[in-house]
Amino acid sequence: MSRTDRVKAVAARGGLFLVRAMVLYLPDRVIARIVGLLVWAAWVLTGDGNVRNTGAEIVDIFASGPPFTATVRKLMRAAEPEIVVSAVLCQTRPSPYGSM
């Protein structure tokens, strides 16, 4: 594993730890506000309207509350760091078709 891949793996594990802690311990409305601010910041930085559409769906899940948030929390409890790290590493590698 290269040094860059190791840095990505550590960042992915740290990100999963942070997101998991937020989802498991913060109230739904707080998570909805935080995600809303992150979506707004991403939209301001990129100017891409698709970011707002995708982010609005996540905000709606946490703004509406249970039973949807109970499902998200169940998924976050069962998330395996190795799978997340593998997905991040695979998605950040150059494509053989030249798309990335």
Cα–Cα distance measured from residue 42 to residue 3, given in angstroms and rounded to the nearest whole number: 28
Cα–Cα distance measured from residue 54 to residue 77, given in angstroms and rounded to the nearest whole number: 23
Domain ranges of the chain: 3-87
- In this prediction, residue 99 carries a pLDDT of 61
- In this prediction, residue 83 carries a pLDDT of 94
- Answer whether residue 100 shows pLDDT above 70: no
